[in-house]
């Protein structure tokens, strides 16, 4: 294992009832890198992200976070170091925005309430929602809810952030505010894996794009290469449709 990798995914495989969904996936992520994972629906992107923090348990392969292997036995501690941002936000509807952002700090990390509150306010400011601390999720737009969910992940001070189609549930006019927050995080040196169809984000923020199809990585490379002279017919076909 290369020890300068924050995240090191090696030969991960997963099948559901005999259907192989991940057929041996490996990639690495250095500190501060943003990798964008693209590919057709059903290619295994969500399964791969979920395998990284064992929301789905892989059948084979190894995953290392900062040199420590992710295992069933240490999964709670490992999950605390990986922020996960879901398509559908997953906020607690009965809690205020402030409580959503500080609860995991208190319950999982054992942070003192005052420090957790301070950190929550800092992360809400970072995503442009200082004025919404006392609101409930239902009082917010989808874009605002997704920014709360990003603030919640950031408040845990994660080693890596995993995003699974963070803008797919949003109306088009709300996508931009979430993409801008993600661009800002990438520019600030956050380490991130982002599954998205937002090709403007991929072009602008990705250090590398990984194209997946049918449980395999077909091709990976910097955006300038992938968008302009991909050598693979499948990648070109996909990008022609989506970009
Ligand atoms: P993507 O995120 O790229 O659209 P997914 O990882 O969600 O792809 O799905 C890959 C394949 O695995 C699909 O064929 C999907 O139907 C199947 N799949 C995903 N989750 C499950 C599950 N919990 N049980 C059975 N099949 C699943
Ligand atoms: Mg998916």
The ipTM, to two decimals, is 0.98
Quick check: CB of 240 below 6 Å from ligand 1? no
Q: For the segment 124-161, what is each residue's pLDDT rounded down to a tens digit?
A: 999 999 999 999 999 999 999 999 999 999 999 999 99
Pairing of strands 19-30, 5-16: antiparallel
Q: For the segment 76-135, what is each residue's pLDDT rounded down to a tens digit?
A: 999 999 999 999 999 999 999 999 999 999 999 999 999 999 999 999 999 999 999 999
Q: For the segment 28-52, what is each residue's pLDDT rounded down to a tens digit?
A: 999 999 999 999 999 999 999 999 9
Quick check: CB of 46 below 6 Å from ligand 1? yes
Q: Which ligand 1 atom is nearest residue 22's CA?
A: 10
Q: How far is the CA of 42 from the centre of ligand 1 (A)?
A: 6
Distance between first and last Cα of the chain = 35
């Amino acid at each position: 294992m290369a020890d300068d990798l924050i995240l090191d995914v090696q030969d991960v495989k997963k099948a559901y009832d005999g259907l192989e969904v991940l057929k041996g996936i490996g990639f690495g992520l250095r500190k501060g890198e943003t990798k964008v994972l693209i590919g057709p629906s059903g290619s295994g992107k969500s399964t791969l992200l979920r395998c990284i923090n064992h929301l789905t348990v892989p059948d084979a392969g190894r995953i290392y976070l900062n040199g420590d292997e992710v295992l069933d036995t240490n999964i709670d501690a490992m999950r605390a170091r990986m922020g996960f941002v879901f398509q559908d936000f997953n906020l607690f509807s009965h809690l205020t925005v402030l409580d959503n952002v500080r609860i995991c700090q208190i319950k999982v990390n054992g942070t003192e309430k005052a420090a957790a509150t301070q950190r929550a306010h800092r992360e809400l400011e970072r995503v442009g929602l200082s004025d919404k601390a006392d609101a409930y999720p239902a009082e917010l737009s989808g874009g605002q809810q997704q920014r709360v969910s990003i603030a919640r992940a950031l408040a845990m001070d994660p080693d890596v952030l995993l995003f699974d189609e963070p803008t797919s549930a949003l109306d088009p006019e709300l996508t931009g505010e979430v993409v801008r927050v993600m661009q800002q995080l990438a520019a600030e040196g956050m380490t991130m894996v982002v599954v998205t169809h937002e090709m403007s984000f991929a072009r602008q923020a990705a250090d590398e794009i990984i194209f997946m199809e049918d449980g395999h990585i077909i091709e990976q490379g910097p955006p300038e290469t992938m968008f302009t002279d991909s050598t693979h017919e499948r990648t070109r076909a996909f990008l022609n449709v989506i970009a």
